[in-house]
Amino acid sequence: MAGKIKIGVVGGTGYTGVELLRLLVQHPDAEISLITSRQEAGTAVSAMFSSLRGRVDLEFSAPSDAALKKCDLVFFATPNGVAMQQARALYDAGIKIIDIAADFRIKDIPVWEKWYGTKHACPELVAEAVYGLPEVNREKIRGARIVANPGCYPTAVQLGFLPLVRNKLVDLKHLIADAKSGVSGAGRKAEVHTLFAEAADNFKAYGVPGHRHLPEISQGLAVMAGVDVGLIFTPHLTPMIRGIHATLYARLNGDVDLQSLYEKTYAGEPFVDVMPAGSHPDTRSVRGSNMCRIAVHRPQGGDTAVVLSVIDNLTKGAAGQAVQNMNLMFGLAETTGLEQVPLMP
């Protein structure tokens, strides 16, 4: 493509926003034009995030349709419910959109309204939006004008289940996803359950009766399978900052070489690493990277597949996947700006 992609970031003050900025300033084809924040307008971005000193010289600006319409692409790194208020005007102006929140992920509007507790402000664009899981929708993403970036748990769970579900090798009515996340997944806001004294040296499940990511995961798995699936999804909060570990269970229908199946499914995928047989991937092995690492087991040679899937919730689970989608939408190599080696330790 000619020239750099002019980018607007709506809501650049959260953990997903600063992760997105970290990746974009290292991207050779990206130019950040503006970063909005109603509350922090006029404040230098580098004053809030010293990690960006010398890399981002902008101030946070008040949201303005006029300014955003000068961009080629707008990322919404905002709480749920914000993008749907602004997307229509940008879409009509020909601006491409990537929503890192949940406003356009779930195709069934009543289901979305039930789980997110509000009326959808832009239902007509939900059908237009492409679900941005590249390993599933790569070709559709290339031609998309609006992309619904997947959630963090849904990314780890869907990539882990995909080979089994797509090939109908398991009992699709009894899938189990037991997933753990670091506290950054709760966002950059003050809440009691994420206080250091509450979250450190502690471990707990939450959202067991139902979590907002459940309908998103179920929708994605149903698309893969071609039929509705039955899924139990239990998230947990862990005393770490970044990372998701999903342990997935499925009853096999028959005999299958799981290792070969996963290796063949993800051969050539730049951001999915199927580890050697017997491996146990850890969240530290993907920290700060756009990689999903997967290992598959069949304990005692029985009829249950156990899949281990790890990602960084802020990168492959949010901002990194959003940049991956941007690359596809603008005809760039998919790995551009995303080849950072994970941080160790």
Q: Which of 71, 122, 152, 292 is catalytic?
A: 152
Beta carbons within 10 angstroms of residue 271's beta carbon: 24
- pTM of this prediction exceeds 0.95: yes
107 bridge partner residues: none
Q: 26, 4, 1, 2: which is closest to 319 by C-alpha?
A: 26
Cβ proximity of 209 and 109 under 8 Å: no
Query: What digits encode the pLDDT tens for the residues 181-190?
Result: 999 998 888 8
Q: 177, 180, 141: which is closest to 159 by C-alpha?
A: 177
pLDDT for 64 equals: 77
270 bridge partner residues: none
Rg (CA), the chain: 20
**What CATH topology corresponds to 5-128?**
Rossmann fold (3.40.50)
Query: What digits encode the pLDDT tens for the residues 315-327?
Result: 999 999 999 999 9
CATH superfamily of the 153-313 domain? Dihydrodipicolinate Reductase; domain 2 (3.30.360.10)
Residue 71 annotated to the active site: no
Helix locations, the chain, DSSP H: 15-24, 45-48, 65-68, 83-92, 109-116, 134-142, 152-166, 196-199, 213-225, 258-265, 320-329
**Edge-first strand listing for the sheet containing 204-205:** 204-205, 231-237, 175-181, 244-251, 304-311, 292-297, 272-274
Q: Where in the chain is the domain with CATH 3.30.360.10?
A: 153-313
Query: What digits encode the pLDDT tens for the residues 150-191?
Result: 999 999 999 999 999 999 999 999 999 999 999 999 888 888
What number of H helices and E strands is found in the chain?
Answer: 11, 14
CA triple 78-82-88, angle to 5 deg: 125
Which residues does the chain have with pLDDT short of 50?
Answer: none
Q: Where in the chain is the domain with CATH 3.40.50.720?
A: 5-128
pLDDT for 236 equals: 98
- Residue 196 amino acid letter: F
pLDDT for 2 equals: 67
- Report the C-alpha gap between 52 and 68 in whole angstroms: 22
- Report the C-alpha gap between 134 and 268 in whole angstroms: 13
Q: Which two tokens stand for residue 244?
A: 């998701």
